[in-house]
Structure formats: C-alpha cells, structure tokens
C-alpha cells in the first residue's frame, strides 16, 4: 500500500520554506534536478516566483507551504523513473488547478523512490491562503491511491 504523509515542520518564515524547498530539490537526491518539476514556472527560479507572489498579496507570515511525501508501494512498481515521475506529476495537477504553485520532486536517496510535493500556501489566483480539512486531505489520499492503481501497483 502506498503512503501519503502531509508534513508541516517549521513552517512560519520564508527561510523555513527555502530550507524545505532546497531539501526537496537537492541535486544529490533528484539526480541533478532532473526529477524536479515546477508547474507553470516562468523563470529558472520557481521559489523566487512563489516568494514574489507572497509579497504581492502581503502574505509573508503564517504558514508558508504544505509538503506531502508520497511513497508508493514497492510491489510491482518496476516502471521507469521517467514514467514514475510523469504519474506523480499528474497526481499534482489538481493542486495547480486549485490555484496554487507546486513543485514535485522524486528522491533516490533512500532504499526506494519517493516524492515530495511542495505547495505554496498563497493562491496565485486571488491571494487566499490554503486551508484543508482532514476530510479534504483524506479525499486527496483516495484520489492518489486511485491514480496509482493499475499504473504502478
């Protein structure tokens, strides 16, 4: 069974966000950033774009990001790294469609491939802050399991 964890950690300053972004996109963990994707980034610095958005809307305090770690079941997931990454990028599409920048990265630094999905907590549509109930998170987890079913499991 796949595991999707929503983690918070230190998450109140831009520096907290930068530390997590640097961790998630670390070249050593992501095969020299080959397995890092930022939805609709218009520059080579998606993090700077997300910070600029926070500044535009005056939302530089409080929760900065959400992080989800997805660790798909290793049983039968012998698909290529590229195909695996494409599947997880598809999983993250609803986050972007809901109006939030997000970055997806695949890590190879442990015994099995796993993913980090970082979402900016400020909407690029209208500047509202991200909020999610437990039931909404559970619905997203069900969506992830359905998306993975038959694709890698």
Mind giving me the DSSP string for the chain? Answer: --EEEEE-SS-SSHHHHHHHHHHHT-TTTTTTTTTEEETT--SS-HHHHHHHHHHHTT--SS--EEEEEEE--STT----HHHHHHHHHHHHHHHHHTT--EEEEEE-SSSS-EEEEEEESB-TTT-PBP---HHHHHHHHHHHHHHHTTTT-
Q: What is the pLDDT along the chain (153 residues), one digit of tens a residue?
A: 678 888 877 888 999 999 999 999 999 999 999 999 999 899 999 999 999 999 999 999 999 999 999 988 766 667 889 998 999 999 999 999 999 999 999 999 988 899 999 999 999 999 999 999 999 999 999 999 888 876 654
pLDDT at 152: 55
pLDDT score of 76: 61
CATH number at residue 118: 3.30.930.30
Q: Is residue 61 part of a domain?
A: yes
32 occurs within a structural domain: yes
Name the residue range of residue 134's domain.
3-148
Residues 130 and 107: beta-carbon distance below 8 Å? no
- The tally of domains found in the chain comes to 1
pLDDT at 67: 95
Query: Whole-prediction pTM value?
Result: 0.91
| Residue 29 is assigned to a structural domain of this protein | yes
153 falls within a domain: no
pLDDT for 13? 94
The number of CA neighbours under 13 Å toward the Cβ of 121 is: 22
Reading the block at residue 54, the tokens are 């926070």
- Which are the contacts of 45, defined by CB distance < 8 A and separation ≥ 6? none
């Amino acid at each position: 069974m796949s595991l999707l964890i929503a983690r918070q950690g230190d998450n109140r300053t831009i520096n907290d966000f930068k530390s997590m972004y640097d961790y998630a996109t670390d070249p050593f963990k992501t095969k020299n950033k080959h397995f890092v994707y930022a939805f609709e980034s218009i520059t080579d610095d998606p993090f700077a774009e997300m910070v600029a958005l926070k500044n535009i809307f005056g939302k530089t305090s409080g929760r900065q990001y959400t992080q989800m770690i997805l660790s798909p079941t290793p049983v039968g997931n012998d698909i290529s790294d590229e195909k695996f990454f494409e599947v997880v990028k598809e999983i993250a599409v609803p986050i972007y469609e809901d109006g939030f920048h997000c970055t997806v990265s695949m890590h190879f630094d442990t015994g099995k491939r796993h993913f980090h999905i970082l979402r900016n907590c400020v909407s690029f549509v209208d500047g509202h802050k991200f909020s999610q109930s437990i039931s909404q998170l559970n619905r997203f987890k069900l969506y992830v399991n359905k998306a993975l079913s038959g694709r890698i499991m």
